[in-house]
Structure 1
Amino acid sequence: MRKNFGAKPYTLPQPVFIISTYGEDGTPDAMLAVWGGISNETEISICLSAQRKTVKNILARGAFTVSMADAANVVACDYVGIESGNRVSDKFEKAGFHAVKSEFVDAPLIEELPMALECRMKSYDEETWRMVGEIVNVSIDERILGENGKVSLTKFDPIVYDWMSKDYLKVGEKVGNAYRDGLALK
């Protein structure tokens, strides 16, 4: 038997993104976002409140980075989600993050978070809060790469958000082979 919950944002799990920008004075800023995902080959869409300082920075500079939050940095990542850059000007620093200037966009990479999308803003709708970014580069720290040169989830522990329990969870173990296991039913 199923239980109906009505219209809710319950797609489980949600990736945990850390959006980073530079402010007007060049100070790095970051916020946590969980309403987003890839919307095209080189495009990401994220729901971001117009009142957020990070959004104001993106609109002013036209660029941002999207880092994947990980288990090793869950406290810092949660902090930049619960604290407002409108109230605390140095929350990036208080989180213990260190900024590295992107080579591709006018936004900081977070040294502690090993995987990030570097994006140019394509559009923002203040009514729906939908920010669309063009992915111009994916930056991955070599420490999370496997022998095959691709991200290894045994070296990288990205976290996801569970709306129902309000928990962060580590990505789990391998359960199948994409684009191969289903061939057994053809």
Structure 2
Amino acid sequence: MKKISLKPTNDYCPQTLFLYGTYDENGKPDFGLFCWFSYTWEKELGVMACIGGSKRTKDNIHKSRVFSANLVTEKILPLADYMGVVDGNKPEKMEGLDLEIEKGQVLPVPVLMDSPVTFELEVKEFLPRQDGEVMLCAIRNVLQDETLADKAKTSTEKLVEIAPVQTTCSRYFSWKGENLGAWGEPMKTFSKKNG
């Protein structure tokens, strides 16, 4: 296979999406959509997450040093796309949302109940870069939908059932590789009344 050289890009390298959940200084939940998320190992499984630019989510994480990472599925993609497109500094972003949110079981983080997998994360180290920041995090708890514990189903069946969403080339894709739309498209079907 012949290769060509390109400017830096991550096209054709699908990444899993997460809604990072934080509480602001008034105790109100806030969620932002991110995909720069992977795993580390230092005597135990950890997470490395990166947030580029200025974001309310990043400001909240700096204040509390904790956040949740809620797996994005096809079911919640319109909400996630909305959370990723609408600026978190706009007060109306979170107003009127009909979301089922609970507090984490170990950390004071908002947990989106419609997400089948949520990590409760504590930032152990911030690594500032020029226009972004890498956060090395300890996983303090993992919350999973109880159906994922069903031993009668294979991992493949469970993944198909929860239908996680991936992104690459400025588009969303299903677990099976089906095109779910360009960034900014799924939110057009989002209604604040039904989350």
TM-score by length of 1: 0.82
Counterpart of 2:59 in structure 1 is 56
Counterpart of 1:169 in structure 2 is 173
1:93: Cα distance to partner?
Answer: 5.1
Q: Deviations over 1:39-59 (max 9, x none)?
A: 224211111135211111111
The alignment status of 1:34 with 2:35, answered yes or no, reads yes
Q: Comparing 19-28 with 78-87, which one deviates more in the overlay?
A: 78-87
Change in Cα spacing, 1:3 to 1:121, as seen in structure 2 (3 Å) is same
Q: Which runs of 4+ in 1 moved over 6 A?
A: none
The residue type paired with residue 99 of structure 1 is: I
Change in Cα spacing, 1:60 to 1:77, as seen in structure 2 (3 Å) is same
Change in Cα spacing, 1:130 to 1:33, as seen in structure 2 (3 Å) is same
CA distance in 1, matches of 2:92, 2:68: 19
Q: How big is the alpha-carbon RMSD for the aligned residues of Structure 1 and Structure 2?
A: 2.2
CA distance in 1, matches of 2:128, 2:96: 28
1:90: Cα distance to partner?
Answer: 4.5
Q: Is the 8 A contact 2:86 2:93 kept in 1?
A: no
Q: Is the 8 A contact 1:119 1:135 kept in 2?
A: yes
The alignment status of 1:107 with 2:109, answered yes or no, reads yes
The alignment status of 1:135 with 2:139, answered yes or no, reads yes
Change in Cα spacing, 1:50 to 1:126, as seen in structure 2 (3 Å) is farther
Q: Is the 8 A contact 1:71 1:157 kept in 2?
A: yes
CA distance in 2, matches of 1:9, 1:98: 33
Structure 1 unmatched runs, 5+? 174-186
CA distance in 2, matches of 1:30, 1:37: 19
Change in Cα spacing, 1:31 to 1:101, as seen in structure 2 (3 Å) is same
CA distance in 1, matches of 2:88, 2:40: 27
Change in Cα spacing, 1:93 to 1:43, as seen in structure 2 (3 Å) is farther
Counterpart of 2:5 in structure 1 is 4
Counterpart of 2:50 in structure 1 is 47
Q: Is the 8 A contact 1:145 1:155 kept in 2?
A: no
Q: Deviations over 1:103-131 (max 9, x none)?
A: 11111110111111111111222324111
Q: Deviations over 1:117-147 (max 9, x none)?
A: 1111112223241112111111001144433
Change in Cα spacing, 1:104 to 1:92, as seen in structure 2 (3 Å) is farther
Q: Is the 8 A contact 2:121 2:138 kept in 1?
A: yes
Number of equivalenced pairs: 170
CA distance in 2, matches of 1:169, 1:77: 13
The alignment status of 1:153 with 2:155, answered yes or no, reads no
SS in 1 for 2:48: strand
Identity percentage of aligned residues: 21
The alignment status of 1:80 with 2:89, answered yes or no, reads no
The residue type paired with residue 30 of structure 1 is: F
